[in-house]
Amino acid sequence: MSTPPLTGDLSPAEFRTAAHAAVEWIAEYLESSGQYPVRSRVRPGDIREALPPSPPVRGEPLEAMLRDFISTIVPGITHWNHPAFFAYFANSGAYPGILGELLAAGLNANGMLWITSPAVTELEQVTLDWLRQLMGLGDGWFGEITDTASVSTFYALAAARERTGLDVRSKGMAARSDLPRLRVYCSEHAHSSIDKAVIALGLGHDNLVKIATDTQFRLRADALEAALAADVAAGYRPMAVVPCVGTTGMTSIDPVPEVVRTARRFGCWVHVDAAYAGVAAIVPELRYVLDGVDGADSLVVNPHKWLFTPMDCSVLYTRDPQSLKQAFALLPEYLVTATTSETVNLMDYGIQLGRRFRSLKLWMVLRAYGRDGLAERIRHQCELAREFAGMVHFEGGWELMAPVTLSLVCFRRVPPGADEAAIAGLNARIMERVNARGAVYLSHTKLGEQYTLRLAIGNIRTDRQHIALAWRELRAAAAEIEGGA
């Protein structure tokens, strides 16, 4: 293949040849992804050292780039698409979503304004309304797609700050004697994205109040009420409460109905973090996970976690889009258009001006599997989690560490007579040995001070043989370590 010219683009023929080769590679990769070591085995600096230190002077052929991708880049990939990737909440890419991403890249549309690509805006509105219906939420929700739950939560808390009426948008927060200290409340097991949002919004990390949880790791509504009352008495201004539906550490589900009632008494915005677990409500018998959410002000769910949509695709819903718009909307003259007031300009609902066509891949996933197909896949993965939990429960010397609410299992090895330090050290060694072998990939957390292993199921290609493989690997590693190997 010839070197690309100095002016203009490559030829369509060259693109077709390379694109066909890339699609073939992707199809083969996804078909046989289980043959790769799940966790990358490269050492720090290996990839950088394998790449030229300077850019090319003249263009290089696409086929050379594909060869280097396979030989140099792929070894440095930890395979989230691997069916035995259990370390974190999955973000497996299903075929229809990958196809949607390819088409979106080809169009390269920017949906900042309605007029800059009407289909980008209107497909996003339709697709998110479909998702709302699938999850069993009521009418009245406005949705937008962001990149991650971290940004969705940031936007929600920005809207909450705007709704306080303290005019932070215009006057800022610095050196204002009239401004009370604003506070946000969440479970002690809430995701760190809430911490980061509080920091980025200038509220101060000290003003994020972590509320104690019960024996099931759920936020205690009575402890929340006590904290709110104490802060009001001390002169603070409660701004928002963030209950979780599926915490990262152990997938606990906070009592959203009670949290909403408590928060309302203190005038707080309620943002529900259901990034992982919210889509479980597509399964009829799991719809309870979103009980009470229709009374909240905002909600985040991540289709790129458990809805088989390629990264990145987070969905923020709010019942108060006006506050969200007031927090971010600006209209310089060069963005003024002659469209009607009925159109939505998605740039008004966040900090980004440019917006990728993310809804296309989600739309294609929803259409490819339908309500029943999505529900059956999520249901099956919850069944796999319960099966793995049963293996742990009935095997001597292992114990479950948290209720198996959905598709995450928290567990550990507990030898007779071992203290907490010895248990933690043993489980850390078991996890590292299993991960180093490359057949499966696990992670850990701490529940209280107890070191805990996590097995998270969510890849669209995971099935029983992968769960059985994980259990064999864990038992073998434990036997080897305890036997002195």
Tens-digit pLDDT profile for residues 452-468:
999 999 999 999 999 99
For residue 279, is pLDDT > 80? yes
Separation between Cα atoms, residue 436 and residue 476, nearest integer Å: 13
Side-chain half-sphere exposure of 308, counting CA atoms within 13 A: 26
Separation between Cα atoms, residue 72 and residue 454, nearest integer Å: 30
pLDDT band at residue 177 under the 50/70/90 scheme: confident
The predicted structure's pLDDT at residue 329: 87
pLDDT band at residue 340 under the 50/70/90 scheme: low
pLDDT tens profile 15-40:
999 999 999 999 999 999 999 999 99
Q: What distance lies between CA 268 and its chain's CA centroid? A: 25
Q: DSSP secondary-structure letter at 59?
A: -
Lowest mean pLDDT: which of 256-260, 358-362, 447-451?
A: 447-451
pLDDT band at residue 2 under the 50/70/90 scheme: low
pLDDT band at residue 333 under the 50/70/90 scheme: low
CA geometry: angle 170, 172, 178, nearest 5 deg: 105
Q: In the structure encoding, which two tokens stand for residue 434, read together?
A: 């299993």
Is this structure's pTM higher than 0.75? Answer: yes
Please name the helix (run of DSSP H) or strand (run of DSSP E) that holds residue 142, with its range, or none.
strand 142-146
For residue 1, is pLDDT > 60? no
Residue range 37-54: mean pLDDT, rounded: 95
Cβ pair 151, 193 in contact under 8 A = no
Cβ pair 358, 125 in contact under 8 A = no
**How does strand 298-301 pair with strand 237-242?**
unpaired
Q: From start to end of 153-294, where are the E strands?
A: 182-187, 208-211, 237-242, 269-273
3-state DSSP helix/strand/coil percent for the chain, to nearest 5?
50, 15, 40
Cβ pair 424, 447 in contact under 8 A = no
pLDDT band at residue 214 under the 50/70/90 scheme: very high
**Torsions phi, psi for 187 (to 5 deg):** -65, 150
Residue range 357-364: mean pLDDT, rounded: 97
Cβ pair 112, 346 in contact under 8 A = yes
pLDDT band at residue 154 under the 50/70/90 scheme: very high
Give the amino acid at 52. Answer: P
Separation between Cα atoms, residue 318 and residue 270, nearest integer Å: 10
For residue 6, is pLDDT > 80? no
Q: At what angle do helices 95-107 and 359-393 cross, to 10 degrees?
A: 150
**Torsions phi, psi for 265 (to 5 deg):** -65, -20
For residue 302, is pLDDT > 70? yes
Give the residue among 35, 76, 30, 87 at the shortest CA–CA distance from 470. Answer: 87
Residue 188 class from Cβ within 10 Å (0-12 exposed, 13-18 middle, 19+ buried)? Answer: middle
